[in-house]
Amino acid sequence: MSCFEGTTAIVTGAGGGMGLAIAGDLLAAGAAVTMIDLKPPPDDPAARHPKAAYVEGDVTDDGFVADAISATFERCERLDYLVNAAGVLWFDRDRSLVDIDLDLWDRVVDINLKSMVHTCRHAVPLMQKSGPGKPSSGGAMVHIASIQALRGDSAPQDAYQAAKAGVIALSKSLAVQFAGDGIRSNALLPGGALTPMQARWDADPAARQSAAAGVPLGRLGTARDMANATLFLLSDKAAFITGTELIVDGGRTALP
């Protein structure tokens, strides 16, 4: 039996990239998964899986998020896992705070950070209701941040970086607040990865090769790399891991 058999998960940003890969792996491992995204369902087996429910909507809308999470609990009668993978990285508009349009700043922060507030505030009480006696003792959450939260950049995306730093801080707070319920909370920090968010590399192979050359393991990451790490953090193999960050960047941040 899979370690996720009989459990229920919610994955935001599941219409593509990391979120889709994570949702697909959870489904393959036996979980029922609600996949949430603003985009229509992808042409992917995960979206058609019998244990999958795909919900279109905006995770910055608290009412929509509340309804989607409540419907999941009513359908599955429990909630075990939450993965916050929704996010945007707008290179062409997100820039130094000196220059950025402040309405854009608010939108980036709403999508990358405040959406996590919406999902967690509605998911945690249902995870508490689900209680012990399941494969995962109290439940687990993984929130996708970024190595950009740990460093500056000569080509800054200040709204993105600030929001992702907030994800890390909020994940730690959740870990401490709900440890008594057996609910774990961790952040995943991807480095450069070949996902739709980094579609700029599709049109510029030279830039992609240059980025890969800056990674000690000699390549960029993939959605599969991030899904593998996320399922580890959700699983009982990480039962004593909470309130921390797992960097998945091929060694990029280990460089001086």
Active site residues: 160
Q: Tell me, what DSSP letter sits at residue 240?
A: T
Spatial separation of the C-alpha atoms in residues 199 and 144, rounded to whole Å: 18
Q: Within 10 Å of residue 139's Cβ, how many Cβ atoms?
A: 29
Q: Within 10 Å of residue 194's Cβ, how many Cβ atoms?
A: 20
Give, in order, the Cα–Cα distances in Å from 76 to each of 34, 85, 137, 166, 171: 10, 21, 17, 31, 25
Strand pairing category for 140-144 and 32-37: unpaired
Strand pairing category for 8-12 and 81-84: parallel
3-state SS class at 77: coil
**Pair 93, 58: CB distance under 8 Å:** no
Using the structure block, give the residue that is written with the tokens 């001086």.
Answer: 256
